[in-house]
Amino acid sequence: MALFDFMKNRREKRLEEAILAFQKKGEGALPDQFVLNRSGEGIEDVALADAYGAVGLSSFNMFYERYIQKQYATEVDKINNYRQMAEMPEIADVIEDATNESTQLDDENKILHLQIMNKDLAKNENMVTAINKEFEELFYGRINIYDFLWDLMRTYFIDGRCYYERIINKKKPKDGILNVKRLPSDTIDWDYNPKTGQITAFYQYLNPQAKKPKSFEEAEKDPNVIMFYPEQIGFVNYGVYGKNRKDVLGYLDKVRVPYNQLKLLETSVVIYRIIRAPERLVFKIDTGNMPKDKALKFVEKIKMKFTKKQTYNPDTGKLTHEPEILSMLENFFLPQSADGRGSDITSVGGDAKGFAELDDIYYFARKLYRALKYPQSRVTAQQEKQEGDVLFGGTSVGEISRDEIKWAKFLEKQQNRITDELLDLFMLHLQFKGLQKEYGLTRKSLNLVMNPPNQYKYQMEQNFLQQHFDNYQTLANNEEFSKAYLMKKYLGWDDDEIKTNSQGIEKDVELGFREAPEEGGF
């Protein structure tokens, strides 16, 4: 309990510092020492330095050049690798499905909803109205939440992280958050405190050769670096780390191996079938009584005159004539004397059976989809050898495939990570507006939710409701059971709902919608 209170107080303290951070940015009110005290490279990173313990932190500059800057470059390479993988059609389709399902609209064309979690607060209509007004103004008035969330989710699935800047008017902070601006993931670096886990500063590098500044003052002097306070940047990542917290592993990280395997196999299959499938022509050229060396030169001359080498480029998937790429298609030119003597090739026909044997491709494709957590039931049944039957949304109304439920739960988890960050944004907005302090709001008071990724929950609820209704109907006509009791047990109604239903039946009789029941019928 003490740890929970400590974490809660720390988060609220950071929010209280937000206005000061925004107002004083660049005005010289925050001393350099204040910035230095809030920054650090991380204990686990320092422990990697060879001189740690023997020389101490006096060798920090050498350590920085060797490890810290190199680590940021590694993260940029990782992001670029993720983006390259996302260009693969199979992966691109999965990411598009994940993004679309995570950001779909409801019947009221809403994509994000506010929930009042505090019961006492929910009873105060004035407070609820004021908070809902600010919610609508921020997310549906100032921020184009539809495009913003779609772009945020897509970047999140590809890069494994996403950043955005919270924009305010420093001269009028009481106006709250005015808008947000997406920041490229491959330009952002950050520091964190290893003791608390809190990020202490963000850096945006406008030049790939830019180096991390050691202080806020140094960052202001460097035109290639922009330094932000933690409250100025919204940041959310996939939540999986490698050797340390700076080593962020994205959604596509587990896809590396099957991606490379499938890509390599597809390329090799194409090359093999280009080599084996076509039929070669054997040209037997009459060289008369030419000497052997002259005969070979003569054949080579004829060969160059009538043929072109076809080559395959695995990057573009096209056949080219570039000589530096491995030759794939060639005919055979053999010298032959006037009397018919010479070499001969009898079997040069194409091997076309490989076009029907794709089991190896299907195996690695399935492995790729499993790494992406994508439902196998959605993959083309013919390609997947009828492994998955589409049950969700299909003709079997009461059935939902297990992989669809797993996929939906996975997307819900990612939605929660995004909405948790957006709740921080909304709480900061309320603090600027003065409502956070006035109403005594904490993060537990409110909650933000996105629409479920698909309707499996609704379908399951309908199935359960149908079962409960069938049980009620089975027992309701039995005089040994009270209908009021059965309504509570199987329909989940309370006394007020049962009373309202009874009054509705009487109203139906008055309006002629039903006949009056026999005496004792109610």
The pLDDT value recorded for residue 285 is 75
**59 or 94, higher pLDDT:** 94
The pLDDT value recorded for residue 319 is 62
Contact status, residue 116 vs residue 131, Cβ threshold 8 Å? yes
User: Which tokens belong to 186?
Assistant: 């491959």
Give 222-278 pLDDT, tens digit per residue.
Answer: 888 988 989 899 999 999 988 888 889 999 999 999 999 898 888 887 777 776 666
Give the list of residues 6+ apart from residue 434 with CB closer than 8 angstroms, or none.
Answer: 174
Q: In a 3-state reduction of DSSP, which class is residue 72?
A: helix
Place of tokens 């629409």: 451
**171 or 427, higher pLDDT:** 427
Number of alpha carbons in the 13 Å side-chain half-sphere of residue 399: 9
Q: Rounded to whole angstroms, how far apart are CA atoms 447 and 487?
A: 32
Helices (H), 160-255: 216-221
The pLDDT value recorded for residue 210 is 84
Q: Rounded to whole angstroms, how far apart are CA atoms 219 and 206?
A: 12
Give the list of residues 6+ apart from residue 200 with CB closer than 8 angstroms, or none.
Answer: 38, 39, 40, 191, 192, 193, 230
DSSP assignment of 234-269, as one string? EEEE-SEESSSTTSEE-TTGGGHHHHHHHHHHHHHH
What residues are paired with 115 via a beta bridge? 447
Q: How far is CA 351 from CA 105, 216, 502, in A?
A: 52, 68, 79
Give 181-224 pLDDT, tens digit per residue.
Answer: 999 999 999 888 878 878 888 999 988 888 888 877 888 888 88
Please report which confidence band the pLDDT of residue 519 belongs to, taking 50, 70 and 90 as the band edges.
low
Contact status, residue 78 vs residue 155, Cβ threshold 8 Å? no
User: Which tokens belong to 375?
Assistant: 């439902």
Q: How far is CA 506 from CA 169, 432, 476, 488, in A?
A: 60, 54, 19, 20
| Average confidence score pLDDT of the chain | 76
Please report which confidence band the pLDDT of residue 291 belongs to, taking 50, 70 and 90 as the band edges.
confident
Give 55-74 pLDDT, tens digit per residue.
Answer: 333 344 454 445 445 566 78
Place of tokens 């050229």: 285
The pLDDT value recorded for residue 31 is 41
Domain ranges of the chain: 13-252+406-450, 278-350, 457-511
pTM (2 d.p.): 0.68
Q: How far is CA 116 from CA 121, 122, 128, 133, 412, in A?
A: 7, 6, 8, 13, 20
Please report which confidence band the pLDDT of residue 141 belongs to, taking 50, 70 and 90 as the band edges.
very high
pLDDT mean over 494-518? 80
Give 401-453 pLDDT, tens digit per residue.
Answer: 788 888 989 999 999 999 999 999 999 999 999 999 999 999 999 999 999 88
C-alpha closest to that of 47 among 221, 244, 240, 229: 244
One-letter-per-residue 3-state SS of 56-67:
HHHHHHHHHHHH
Contact status, residue 200 vs residue 39, Cβ threshold 8 Å? yes
The pLDDT value recorded for residue 18 is 58
pLDDT over 70 percentage in the chain: 67
Give the list of residues 6+ apart from residue 449 with CB closer than 8 angstroms, or none.
Answer: 112, 113, 115, 415, 419
